[in-house]
Amino acid sequence: MASTSASTSAGPTPAQLTLFARSVLAHLRLWPALRLSLQNSEIPSNSQNVQLFASEIIDQFTASKGAGPAEEDVEDLLLQIMDEEFETIVDDDSVEGIARGLLTTWRGLADPSAEASIRLLEEQADKAGKTRLQVQQREEIEEASDEEEGEGEDVEMTGEAEAPQLLERPERQEPVVDDDGFTLVQKKGRR
């Protein structure tokens, strides 16, 4: 047991680095922000960009000493690459979870169960990769600043502005109840 903990303090072994690289790729494939960016991207070589993304992360971890880089540094790297390479600004808290997951994996590389947990993570990433995320784009409303409208003036709002429309959902069919009070099972797909 002492030899495994000594190997992580001196730096991970090549086998541990391979495990970590697999974990980084799995974390990235599970990240909804990156998956959406890749789905909606017009960049032709997305898989190569993800591999370059992973190599940047691995480089940051291998360059750090001890327990890895600070969580904020990992978050900053993730946000920077998403912005520069994938033209995506991530404004949810998912980047914190990815950074924490990467740090946990890095710190647990010497654990004998690390390979099994990374294998499980890869299975989850494979399942997630088979589903397509749907996103609803919203238009940002540009508001004029006070300087453009004149400072201190009241602005009248007229009723001409159109309210955003709600999406229509198909109506659910009410259950059919027979004379005896039993609910009949309806086939799905017929609309």
| Whether the Cβ atoms of residue 39 and residue 71 lie closer than 8 Å to each other | no
What 3-state class would DSSP assign to 184?
strand
Compare 128 and 77 and report the one with higher pLDDT: 77
Write down how long the chain is: 191
In the chain, domain spans: 2-129
Percent of the residues in the chain that have a pLDDT greater than 70, as a whole number: 68
| Whether the Cβ atoms of residue 21 and residue 58 lie closer than 8 Å to each other | yes
User: What pTM was estimated for this model as a whole?
Assistant: 0.62
The pLDDT confidence band at residue 27, using thresholds 50, 70 and 90, is very high
The pLDDT confidence band at residue 161, using thresholds 50, 70 and 90, is low
**Which residues lie across from 177 on neighbouring strands?**
183
What's the pLDDT at 37? Answer: 83
What's the pLDDT at 175? Answer: 77
How far, in Å, CA of 146 to CA of 102, rounded? Answer: 45
Burial zone of 179 (CB within 10 Å; 0-12 exposed, 13-18 middle, 19+ buried): exposed
What's the pLDDT at 166? Answer: 65
How far, in Å, CA of 76 to CA of 99, rounded? Answer: 9
Query: In angstroms, how far is the first alpha carbon of the chain from the final one?
Result: 63
* CB-based contacts of 62-65 (< 8 A; 24+ apart in sequence): 62/11, 62/12, 62/17
Summarize pLDDT for 99-153 with one digit per residue, the tens: 999 999 999 988 888 899 999 988 888 888 777 666 555 555 455 444 444 455 5
Exposure string for 121-137, b = 16+ CB within 10 A, e = fewer: bbeebeeeeeeeeeeee
How far, in Å, CA of 63 to CA of 58, rounded? Answer: 8
